[in-house]
A = this chain, B = another copy of it.
Amino acid sequence: MRQSQLFHKTLKETPSDADSVNASYLVRADFVEKHMAGAYAFLPLGFRVVKKIEKIVQEEMDAIGGQQLLMNVMQPKELWEKTGRWESMDEVLYKSGDKKNQIAFAATHEEQVTSIVKNHIKSYKDLPLALYQIQTKFRNEPRAKSGLLRGREFLMKDMYSFHTTDKDFEEFYDKSKIAYLKVFKRLGLEAKIVEASGGAFTEKHSHEFQVLTEVGEDTIFFCDSPAGECDFAVNKEISDVEDGSKCPKCDGKIKKANGIEVGNIFPLETKYSHALEAKYVDKDGKEKEMIMGCYGIGISRSLATIVEVLYNQTENKMVWPESVAPFKVHILSLNQNEKADELYKILKDKTEVLYDDRETSAGTKFAEADLIGCPIRIIVSEKSLTAGGAEVVDNIKNSTKIIKLENIAQELNAK
């Protein structure tokens, strides 16, 4: 896309009301616009990143047999009364409607998905089953904070699984762990599986996917053994270990760190199937309650986490992982639009290219390109042309080469 046509305008300064690195960067680089406390609009560049994150999540959920659907934002009071959550979640639910038709705007979907599955599944033969959706969710946070890390309106992938036996549930639960690690790896995030509380109704633990970084809200204790040797990691809320103490699982030492929870998976046992009477007929002809699990990934939160980890505040420089970058290649023309046009025409059907064809200074172009953060930058300047082509900068590998214009397409494919 030609940058002269793109709806985009970076800010010269960090926005004064930004309460976090991600909000500060995303607003300044014009990926999002703050709409109100806890709610951000995704502008064209940010929207492109969102779509790429969603696609990666979809591919990995499909790969473990998840089937995508789209449930509702509006939730009727009667349904939520059955699980007691109309009252127990009152503080965070946005409610509306008249007395006869009270609704809440969904913060989560256990009620609806269990109700849908109840209407569909009769026999053990119809199980197991995993359903998921990607949807905007709402949560009336008393204090929205940390930019897109904790908003009132946010994008989530939520999956729900249904099983006849604990063993079958556990197999799927383990499969989901591997799928989640694949998702975060593809997003360029290193996520640690951390044991956390399973809530009031189960003795089992849930598992969080935590990206360790200073700004994280959660406190994590984990074994500091060389990678892969020991996987001990717990959320402070359930642990009695301390920083520096001996690992309960090996000879390693416990380390303390902050983490951002980008995903979590949760054994639900029969909490919702019991409340909503979601039963199936088993091999022995008896009615039984389905065993459930739920599996969340914060889409907008993952986007914000990538920024927290990768944005270099000192240099005002971002480099998005190739998998989610708004564009893979950023061509900067420094008063050489004729040659740069040629290159753009060659590349635009082969890869995703943003082409800075604007009449503005080299300084502005470089500063904005640093903010936008495409993995590959190609500079077409008098200097580069004299040297025999364009300057191709790989921002991930931190390498620069002069390459003939006609060879660049091939060079990029070779990567």
Q: Show the binding face of A for B, using Cβ within 8 Å.
A: 5-9, 30, 33, 35-37, 39-44, 46-47, 50, 65, 67-74, 76, 94-97, 101, 103, 105, 112, 116, 119-120, 129, 131, 136, 138, 140, 152-153
Contacts and interface: CB of A to CB of B under 8 A. Distances in A.
A7 B136 contact: no
Contacts of A105: 73, 94, 96, 105
A42 B69 contact: yes
Contacts of A138: 73-74
A297 to B, nearest CB: 18
Q: How many copies does the complex hold?
A: 2
Nearest to A4: B125
A120 B73 contact: no
A37 B98 CA distance: 14
Given A33-B119, A74-B36, A140-B97, A67 B41 contact: no
Contacts of A72: 35-36, 39-41, 153
Which 3 A-B pairs have CB atoms at the shortest separation, nearest pair first? A94-B96, A42-B70, A96-B96
A80 to B, nearest CB: 12
Contacts of A96: 94-96, 105
A30 B138 CA distance: 27
A23 to B, nearest CB: 15
Given A105-B96, A116-B33, A47 B69 contact: yes
A73 B70 CA distance: 16
Nearest to A140: B97
B140 A73 contact: no
Contact of A120 (B7, B76, B131): B7
A30 B116 CA distance: 11
27 contacts: A5-B65, A6-B67, A7-B67, A7-B69, A7-B120, A30-B120, A33-B116, A35-B72, A35-B76, A37-B101, A41-B69, A41-B71, A41-B112, A42-B69, A42-B70, A43-B116, A44-B67, A44-B68, A50-B70, A72-B153, A73-B138, A73-B153, A74-B94, A94-B103, A95-B96, A96-B105, A105-B105
A289 to B, nearest CB: 19
Nearest to A5: B65
Contacts of A43: 69, 116
Given A44-B68, A67-B44, A112-B35, A73 B74 contact: no
A372 B67 CA distance: 17
Nearest to A122: B9
Given A39-B74, A41-B116, A120-B9, A68 B97 contact: no
A43 to B, nearest CB: 5
B74 A153 contact: yes
A112 B35 CA distance: 8
A44 B69 contact: yes
A348 B136 CA distance: 32
A7 B119 CA distance: 11
A69 B72 CA distance: 21
Contacts of A41: 69-72, 112, 116
